[in-house]
Amino acid sequence: MTAKQQAILDAALQLFAREGYAGTATSKVAKTAGVSEGLIFRHFGNKQGLLDAILEQGREHAKQAFAKVVMEADPKKRIEKALEVPYTINQRDYELWRLIYAIKWQTQQYDNSMYDPVRLVLTDAFKQLKYADPKAETELLLMYLDGMATALLLHEPDNKAAILEALKQKYDL
């Protein structure tokens, strides 16, 4: 990965997140990156390839974010760590996450299977803790995470900490 290649990816991420994928011209990406337009197509083939390269980096970030949840042995702590995931997102990665959340409404094939490993370990945790419907609890928790992440990315509520506290109480944490 050369410096200019990374510059293209950075510029594209910024522009795609702010103006949308279809709303961003490759010429603008090139200008922002300080690079000729042709270089984009040499390195990434076409515009879609550029988006794919960004989303690939995003998938790595997601894996990292959930790694600590999957690795946790204690079921109660596992659930607690899952609830905290949205809070662990680094502010400088917000643009990447905003793009990922925007894209999932634009493409018809929403890839929900990405979270299957997390699903597995959460269902197991709820089972160990004798919850009535572990699978439903898992889906519910994932919905919370989605709503929480949306709130953080779009309007960053002032009482973040209190909200997390209220949520933890519902799981006796």
Partner DNA sequence: TGTAAGTAAGTGATTGCTTACTTACTTAAA
Partner DNA sequence: TTTAAGTAAGTAAGCAATCACTTACTTACA
Binding site for DNA (CB under 7 A): 2-5, 24-28, 35-39, 41-43, 46-48
Nearest residue (CB) to a second copy, 16 versus 44: 16
Q: C-beta of 152: minimal distance to a second copy in Å? A: 10
61 vs 92: CA distance, rounded Å: 12
What lies within 8 Å, CB to CB, of 86 at 6+ separation is 145, 148, 149, 152
Give the one entry of a second copy, DNA, none that residue 73 binds, where binding means its C-beta sits below a cut-off of 5 to 8 angstroms depending on kind.
none
User: Binding residues for a second copy, per CB under 8 A?
Assistant: 18-23, 98, 101-102, 104-106, 108, 110, 112, 131-133, 135-137, 139-140, 142-148, 150-151, 154-155, 157, 159, 162-163, 165-167, 169-170
- Residue with the two structure tokens 């950075």: 10
Letter for the amino acid at 27? S
Dihedral class, residue 109 (left if φ above 0, else alpha if ψ from -120 to 50, else beta): beta
Give the one entry of DNA, a second copy, none that residue 37 binds, where binding means its C-beta sits below a cut-off of 5 to 8 angstroms depending on kind.
DNA
Are 118 and 126 a contacting pair, CB within 8 Å? no
Nearest residue (CB) to a second copy, 72 versus 146: 146
